[in-house]
Amino acid sequence: MKNNETSRPDAMPAGRVRKIATEEACSIPEVAAALRDVARRGGESLDLKLVGGLYDVEESARSELLTRLLDIDTLRLKAMDDHQVDMQLLGLTAPGVQMFEPGLAADLARLANDRLAEAVRRHPTRFAALATFAPQDPATAVREMERAIKVLKLRGFIINSHTNNEYLDQQKYWPILEAAEALGAPLYIHPRAPSDGMAAPFRDYRLEAAVWGYGMEVGTHVVRLMMSGALDQFEKLRVVIGHMGEAVPFWLWRLDYMGNPARGRSPQKLLPSEYFRRNFAITTSGVEDELALRYCIDRIGIDNVMWAIDYPYQPTAPAAQWIDAAPLTREEREKLCHRNAERIFGIAAA
Ligand code: 1WB
Ligand code: MN
C-alpha cells in the first residue's frame, strides 16, 4: 500500500471515530520461558492453572493464543487493520513478572519495557504501551517506573492485582502509588487469579480464571484501596480497571451504605463512590453488554469509561462491531473510543 496521507491509519474518513483499544495483552519470549519455569516448579497459586496450560508446552505445540501474545507486527496489526482499530494500548500479559523472584522480576520488567518502547517506536500511530514493574521490591519498582515514563515515554503502568498475596493498600507498597501519582501516570490493575487466602471455592470448574475469579480478585483489590484510606494519601492517583469495572460500579450504592465512614468500621474519609469517581476509570474489556455500558456511563460518568478489546483473549471483530453499534451520542462515542484514552493515558490526538 502506498504510504500517502489518506492511507495513514489515523487519517480516517469523516464520520468514522478513532478507536483506541485500552487493555491489550502481549508477552516476550523471555517472560514466557520464565513462566514455563514457574509452572514446572509448581505450588499453590491458582494462576498456575493458566500459566501451566499456556507456557509449559513444547515449542511445536505452541497455542494460537501464545503465538498472538508474542506477536506485535503481523497478526496483531492485521486484526487491527481488518476491524479498523487505530491503536492498541499494550501491556505485558498477566501475571506479568509478579510470580518471579525479585531479582529476575526486576530484570524482566526492564526488558519487557524496553521491548514495548521499541514496538511503539516502530509503529507510533498504532501502539502505545503501559509499563510493567516488579512490586516485590517497591524501591526498585519506583526506579523502573520513573525510567519507563521519563526515558521510555510509556503511558502508564499495569499491575496484575496481588503480589505474593498482598495488596497495594499495604503501606510497603505506597511508594508505588506515590510514584504513579507524582508521574501523573495511571495504574491499570489487571486481573490475576484469586490470592491463596480466597482461593478454595475457585479451585473447581476453572472458576479462578476470567469467567469469575479474575473479577472477584480485582474487585476486592479495588474495595481494599477505597476502604483502607490509602486513597486519602493519593488524591490525584488514577487507577484503571477493566471488564466494565469488575462489578464494582454495580455495588456502589451498597458500598456507600455499608461502607460509609460514618459507621466507624473503616478508616477512610470519603464514601466509596467518591473515591470511585475521583480516582478510577474503567474499560469495557471483554464485556460487550450495552445495558451494562449504559449503566456505567450514567453511574460514573462518560469521562471515566473507555473501550477495550482484551486482545488476544477476546476476538477483535465482535468487540469492534459492538461498540460501533452501541446506542451512544456522537460525543459519548468519541469519549469512549478515543478522547478519554487520549486524556487519561496522554496519547496524542490523531
Ligand atoms: C484470560 C483472560 C487469560 C485474560 C488471561 O491471562 C487474561 C483467559 C492472563 O480468558 O484465559 C483477560 O485479561 O481477560
Ligand atoms: Mn486482559
For residue 160, the CA-to-ligand 1 centroid distance in Å is 11
Task: Return the C-alpha cell found at 238.
Answer: 488514577
Nearest to 313 by CA among 99, 27, 97: 27
For residue 144, the CA-to-ligand 2 centroid distance in Å is 22
Active site residues: 310
Kindly list the protein residues that place their beta carbon closer than 5 angstroms to ligand 2, a single-atom ion.
Answer: 23, 310
Rounded to whole angstroms, the Cα distance separating 269 from 261 reads: 6
What is the per-residue pLDDT for 9? 46
> Which residue's CA is the nearest one to ligand 1's atom 14?
210
Rounded to whole angstroms, the Cα distance separating 148 from 117 reads: 9
Rounded to whole angstroms, the Cα distance separating 252 from 296 reads: 11
Pocket test for ligand 1, best of 46, 50, 314 (most atoms within 8 A of CB): 50
pTM: 0.96
What is the per-residue pLDDT for 2? 39
Rounded to whole angstroms, the Cα distance separating 129 from 88 reads: 8
CA torsion angle 221 223 228 233 (round to 10): 80
Task: Return the C-alpha cell found at 136.
Answer: 516485590
For residue 270, the CA-to-ligand 2 centroid distance in Å is 29
Rounded to 5°, angle at Cα 205 from 158 and 37: 50
Residues lining ligand 1, judged by CB closer than 6 Å? Answer: 50, 93-94, 191, 209-210, 286, 310, 313
Ligand 1 atom at shortest distance from the alpha carbon of 93:
9
For residue 130, the CA-to-ligand 1 centroid distance in Å is 17
Cβ-count burial of 168 within 10 angstroms (0-12 exposed, 13-18 middle, 19+ buried)?
A: buried
φ, ψ for residue 166, nearest 5 deg = -115, 155
Ligand 1 atom at shortest distance from the alpha carbon of 95:
9
Cβ-count burial of 248 within 10 angstroms (0-12 exposed, 13-18 middle, 19+ buried)?
A: buried
Is the dihedral angle over the CA atoms 256, 262, 266, 267 positive or is it negative?
Answer: positive
For the stretch 247-290, pLDDT in tens is 999 999 999 999 999 999 999 999 999 999 999 999 999 999 99
What is the per-residue pLDDT for 152? 98
Q: Are strands 187-190 and 239-241 parallel, antiparallel or unpaired?
A: parallel
For the stretch 284-322, pLDDT in tens is 999 999 999 999 999 999 999 999 999 999 999 999 999
Pocket test for ligand 1, best of 24, 214, 216 (most atoms within 8 A of CB): 214
What is the per-residue pLDDT for 7? 46
> Which residue's CA is the nearest one to ligand 1's atom 9?
94
Residue pair 103/37 in contact (Cβ under 8 Å)? The answer is no
DSSP for residue 28: -
Nearest ligand atom owner, CA of 158? 2
Rounded to whole angstroms, the Cα distance separating 18 from 49 reads: 37
Bridge partners, 59 (sequence order)? none
What is the per-residue pLDDT for 15? 84
DSSP for residue 294: H
| Omega prior to 13 cis, within 30 of 0 | no
CA distances from 229 to 159, 203, 259, 282 (A): 20, 31, 12, 20
For residue 313, the CA-to-ligand 1 centroid distance in Å is 6
Nearest ligand atom owner, CA of 55? 1
φ, ψ for residue 79, nearest 5 deg = -60, -40
Nearest to 109 by CA among 97, 120, 100: 97
For residue 1, the CA-to-ligand 2 centroid distance in Å is 32
CA distances from 347 to 29, 91, 125, 188 (A): 27, 15, 10, 15
What is the per-residue pLDDT for 11? 55
**DSSP run (H or E) holding 20:** strand 20-26
Task: Return the C-alpha cell found at 181.
Answer: 501519582
Query: Which parts of the chain have pLDDT scores under 50?
Result: 1-10
Rounded to whole angstroms, the Cα distance separating 17 from 90 reads: 20
> Which residue's CA is the nearest one to ligand 1's atom 5?
94
> Which residue's CA is the nearest one to ligand 1's atom 6?
94
